[in-house]
Amino acid sequence: MARIAVLPPAVANQIAAGEVVERPASAVKELVENALDAGATAVDIAVEEGGRLLIRVSDDGSGMERDDALLALHRHATSKITQAADLVGVRSFGFRGEALPAISSVAELTIATATTDGAGTEVRAEGGTVVEVRDVARRRGTTVSVARLFYNAPARQKFMRGPRSEWRSVLDAVTTIALTRRDVRFTLGNDGKSALTLPAASSLRDRVAALWGADATDRLVDVEDVRGVIQVSGLVERPADVGTASRRTFITVNGRPIRDSGLLRAAEGAYRSTLTAGLRPSLLLEVVVPSASVDVNVHPAKAEVRFQDRWTVERAVEEAVRRALGTFDASAALGVRRWSANGPAWSAPAPSDVELLRAAPADGGDGLFAPARHAAPAATGTVDGDDVPAVVEPRTAPQVVPQLLQLRRTFMLFEHDDGVVLIDQHSAHERVLYEQFMGMLERGESPSQRLLFPLTLHLTPAEGEAFEANRAMLATLGFEVEGFGGHTLLVHAVPMPHPRFDAERCLRETLAALSGDREATAHARHERLAATVACKAAIKAGDELSQGEMRALFIALGETRLPAHDVHGRSTIVQLSWPELERRFGRQ
């Protein structure tokens, strides 16, 4: 007896429905995408009981003639491709003839459509079978109604969730499409109540404001970057605002919304050394790659893609986000932000290959990062004066540096065209040191200052283990240390990032902080050590700075990759715009 048989069309369609339509939100997504592929400029969506009872999608697209409306209910019937080659780089959302028969097989479906205003066609089907075709009067476009989804598939029906849960999924699906197609007007209602009214928008920022309010856009930084043939644009959350609202993620590739954990991880990687552990930012990114380098047909619902060179795309995304976070506009704001889209430019010189921390101030005064000869802070040992390097002059003259004012020996303040800016001196110096130390660890440099008399450090067992685990990297940072029996160390040389540097305290606190540390990768260990030493070595709140020292710190901060954030996720820079200041004083 034969064991293999061709499935009846009705059964095959229900299997296809299971691949494409998992719940009401899936049907909404497919129907709205069909409307967009038909050239719609306005799409109206209405559901009842979260789509469990009814889904209706109306558009002003091209519409269909009667014969096409009937063919659209057949499997493998489509207006979007004609040959296999069309599958490469296909720009449409899907294949119109695939979703309709799949939905029709598990619901009561009605299509009302017209190619011109006036006469149109209505097709009604139940369980995949056409039961009525008639003439109707309607405007150009198409309306598809889906009632009693999964009425003939009880196994699937029982896995649907409650109306509120299904409604949230429908709302998420429409929101994703609305973010993707900002040139289209969308409305969405549930149980007769309006939920969304979104006019066509000129930018992603405008669409976000329409969806979630202007406050949501105030937390986002613009991304706009090109790396070879890969373009990355969008909006990402400022590190200072991460965790203050619900996390939102949105990614498109060549205009198609997708799920891709690899791209999300790459974007989040740009936030390294700017966020505390456990916080994850909102990311809304649009990636454009050559169509031949991506396969969009690897998932039934077109929710995933396959890249020809995934590593290159992920690196492009990470670099694009990191560059956005390195702009002045990525800093925190007091009150409502009213800066321009790209924010004010940082008034600092272009990066040079001199030691950033030892740049001489433009006014010729003592630099914060130029150690004084024979500097010998009490507890750090005595520095051999002959080994102290002279001040390194910047190779390029600094640009205009604003007049800086120190507040409470903790903050530097200056006036900008767009407002008032505050810089936390400790956080700023910490960022500068972190990036310098990371460069040393990656390049393997070992600058240090020899001490006339070595320091003797007695460590706890845990601190001793931390020293052994990080001995080589500490040497790279400039700590020349040898064992002296048990957990006692002799320190012969130390880094000297600034005259106030307390090497003994820094080394002790660093080893205490690293006790029990179990970072897996070498790069992660580098980041952990560089961040810890930078924190302990940086100038502190309460240190009085000269005008020259503040100018040197300002210049050095401007040359870092992520000037607006320290290594603990705190803000280095806080802005107060003139409009916000005027509003606080009642001038607006």
Angle between helices 522-537 and 503-514 in degrees, nearest 10: 140
Residues in the chain: 588
User: What is the per-residue pLDDT across 133-187, written as a single tens digit (0 to 9) for each?
Assistant: 999 999 999 999 999 999 888 878 888 899 999 999 999 999 999 999 999 999 9
Mean pLDDT of 487-502: 87
Mean pLDDT of 566-579: 89
Residue 333 located in a structural domain = no
pTM of the prediction? 0.78
Q: What is the mean pLDDT of the chain?
A: 82
Place of tokens 């203050």: 244
Q: How confident is the model at residue 448 (pLDDT cuts 50, 70, 90)?
A: confident
Residues 181 and 81 in one domain: yes
Give the pLDDT score at 215: 87
Residue 160 located in a structural domain = yes
Give the pLDDT score at 387: 38
Please determine, for residue 498, whether its predicted confidence score (pLDDT) is greater than 90.
no
Min mean pLDDT across 14-23, 38-47, 182-191 is at 14-23
Residues 373 and 300 in one domain: no
Please determine, for residue 64, whether its predicted confidence score (pLDDT) is greater than 90.
yes
Give the pLDDT score at 344: 44
Look at 73 and 373; give whichever has higher pLDDT: 73
Residue 583 located in a structural domain = no
Residue 505 located in a structural domain = yes
High-pLDDT (> 90) share of the chain, %: 48
Residue 335 located in a structural domain = no
List the CATH number of the domain containing 144.
3.30.565.10
Q: How confident is the model at residue 36 (pLDDT cuts 50, 70, 90)?
A: very high
Assigned token pair, 433: 């040191």
Phi, psi of 474 (to 5 degrees): -65, -35
Written as one letter, the residue type at 551 is R
List the CATH number of the domain containing 303.
3.30.230.10
Q: Which of 435, 331, 399, 329 is nearest to 554 (CA)?
A: 399
Residue ranges making up the domain that contains 247: 204-325
Residue 102 located in a structural domain = yes
Residues 320 and 383 in one domain: no
Residue 112 located in a structural domain = yes
Q: How confident is the model at residue 83 (pLDDT cuts 50, 70, 90)?
A: low
Residues 402 and 260 in one domain: no
Phi, psi of 130 (to 5 degrees): -70, 125
Residues 6+ apart with CB under 8 A from 30: 20, 21, 94, 99, 102, 103
User: What is the per-residue pLDDT across 275-307, written as a single tens digit (0 to 9) for each?
Assistant: 887 889 999 999 999 988 988 766 655 678 889
Number of domains forming the structure of the chain: 3
Give the pLDDT score at 487: 80
The DSSP 8-state label assigned to residue 330 in this structure reads G
Domain finish residue from 179, 198, 217 = 198
Give the pLDDT score at 302: 64
User: What is the per-residue pLDDT across 312-347, written as a single tens digit (0 to 9) for each?
Assistant: 999 999 999 999 999 888 888 876 554 443 444 444
Other residues' Cβ atoms within 10 Å of the Cβ of residue 136: 12
Please determine, for residue 355, whether its predicted confidence score (pLDDT) is greater than 70.
no
Angle between helices 163-180 and 204-212 in degrees, nearest 10: 160
Task: Give exposure, 546-557, as e/b (b: 16+ Cβ within 10 Å).
Answer: ebbbbbbbbbbb
- Is residue 231 within 8 A of residue 222, CB to CB? The reply is no
Q: How confident is the model at residue 9 (pLDDT cuts 50, 70, 90)?
A: low
CA 466 to CA 511: how far, in whole Å? 6
Give the pLDDT score at 224: 95
Look at 76 and 183; give whichever has higher pLDDT: 183
User: What is the per-residue pLDDT across 249-271, written as a single tens digit (0 to 9) for each?
Assistant: 999 999 999 999 999 999 999 99
CA 417 to CA 89: how far, in whole Å? 46
Residues 442 and 518 in one domain: yes
Other residues' Cβ atoms within 10 Å of the Cβ of residue 184: 22
